[in-house]
Structure 1
Amino acid sequence: MVKKARPAPRREESLSRDRIIEAAIELLDNDGEGGLTFRALSERLATGPGAIYWHIANKGDLLVAACDAVIAGVMAQGTTNGTAAQADAATPEDTIRALALAMFDAMNEHPWIGSALFHSAGALPTVRLLECIGQQVRALGAPAAGQWSATSALLHYVLGVGGQNAANRLSAQTRALDRDDFLGEVADAWSALDERDYPFTRSVADDLRNHDDRGDFLAGIDLILGGIKGTAKTRAKATVRKR
């Protein structure tokens, strides 16, 4: 009697797109964008590159997918568990602040997000943010003609400031600089500038030395929100006068 060949043992954890993306995020966090290769990913997942290519076409698509996974998590955090109340009780301003701060923290934790968003402009990660911010801008009462400008200003502020903060942190780590020591040296240099040529810079030297990154970030968000609300009120008053 011929014995039947035993089937090959199945993997305890089947390879999925979600597992690949999870491993990619781990690589990006540990080694940066340069460390994300299909070879490194194959070693981490204990599989061959072919199995990965079945789910992901190339490194560019993988970077976008990893970025989108993080952004999706940020959206959930920022709109339901942020600094404000729960989503059903939050004002549009609260929701925007919570989302912006969640993005700021996420970019600080995952510094590669800034580059990924830049290279995937118009793709789903950016569209998620655009849609959420745009809905809140509408809810603030911004006039239709100004909704794009207001939403774009908020989006670019969040990505620009968050990305720059993450880049600064990476630069300091690369150069083994302590943040407080670095800011202290810069503040001392500003204080020594000629007061006739740099009166403002000298006056804010101590502010630089003691500033809070997250606090300054939210202050900028509030300035933009104030402008949006002011524009909405002006438009509403003008409409009433016409009646």
Structure 2
Amino acid sequence: MSQTRGRGRRADALSKDVVVRAAVDLLDEHGERGFTFKLLTERLQTGAGAVYWHVANKDELVLLATDKVIGDALAALRPEPGADAETRLRTLLLTMYDALDQHFWAAPHVVAGSAMPNAMLLLERVGSLIAETALPARRHFAAATALFLYLVGVTAQDSAHAKTVEPGVSRDELLGQEAARWAALDPATFPFVTRVAAELGDHSDRDQFITGVDLFLDGLRAHG
């Protein structure tokens, strides 16, 4: 049997989409650090060679899995009849926030580049909706990329915080500890931080993200 025919059979036995879907599931279960090709091959009941036919290494697979998370979230969006561009933009951003929050490992890998076509599509959707507002065209690029980076930055930071939580420690406990450290600072040097320390310990990350989006949309209207 020729090498080409052998490769063809391996490629036919396992699709790239199946590999990426399995990777998403395992990344959800184990996080990026705990995800290994050994776990993947066990889940797929195949050998490493069949996986490497489709992806070069773990880094490439994590990027593909991240892009799939974005693509699935975009595909799940439904038209909002009669909704204006700002409303649809808000819905888009909250949908993406929820998707990246659910798949906590993905956020640090989101970039708008040729290797991530769905991430590029997300940027396209954001930019197209901004273009429907009254914002001058000369500000479309800056506004779209700023909002894209806000989404990516917030979700990546939330992901980083989640990774620092020790086993057996809840989010509320972690925030409470950090709030106590804020409150213990010198109020003469940190008047704002000490004043809002209690709010740190009792806030919703999603509500905080929504506040930023709404402030951005207020700015769009003000500069339209």
TM-score normalised according to structure 2 size: 0.84
Superposed, 1:1-243 pairs within 5 Å as 15-77=14-76, 79-80=77-78, 86-118=79-111, 121-122=113-114, 123-172=116-165, 174-232=166-224
Instruction: Name the residue aligned to 1:241.
Output: none
Q: Given residue 205 of structure 1, which amino acid in structure 2 is its aligned partner?
A: A
Alpha-carbon displacement from aligned partner over 1:213-242 (angstroms, at most 9, x marks no partner) = 11111010111111122211xxxxxxxxxx
Instruction: Name the residue aligned to 1:238.
Output: none
Distance in 1 between the 2:32 and 2:202 partners? 32
Q: CA deviation at 1:52?
A: 2.5
- Alpha carbons of 1:187 and 1:40: their partners in 2 closer, same or farther (altered >3 Å)? closer
TM-score normalised according to structure 1 size: 0.78
Q: Return structure 1 stretches of 4+ with deviation > 6 angstroms.
A: none
Alpha-carbon displacement from aligned partner over 1:12-63 (angstroms, at most 9, x marks no partner) = xx53222111111112112222344433322211112232333334434322
Structure 1 runs not aligned, ≥5 long: 1-13, 81-85, 233-243
Work out which of the two has the higher radius of gyration on C-alpha atoms and give 1 or 2: 1
Checking the alignment, whether the CA contact within 8 Å between 1:137 and 1:147 is kept in structure 2 is yes
Q: How many matched pairs? A: 212
Alpha-carbon displacement from aligned partner over 1:64-113 (angstroms, at most 9, x marks no partner) = 22112111111133x32xxxxx4333222222222222222222221221
Alpha-carbon displacement from aligned partner over 1:94-145 (angstroms, at most 9, x marks no partner) = 2222222222222222122123225x74431320210110011001122111
Work out the percentage of aligned pairs sharing the same amino acid: 38
Distance in 2 between the 1:182 and 1:40 partners? 30
Relative to structure 2, which stretch is displaced further, 47-56 or 143-152? 47-56
Structure 2 runs not aligned, ≥5 long: 1-12
Distance in 1 between the 2:143 and 2:124 partners? 13
Q: CA deviation at 1:147?
A: 0.4
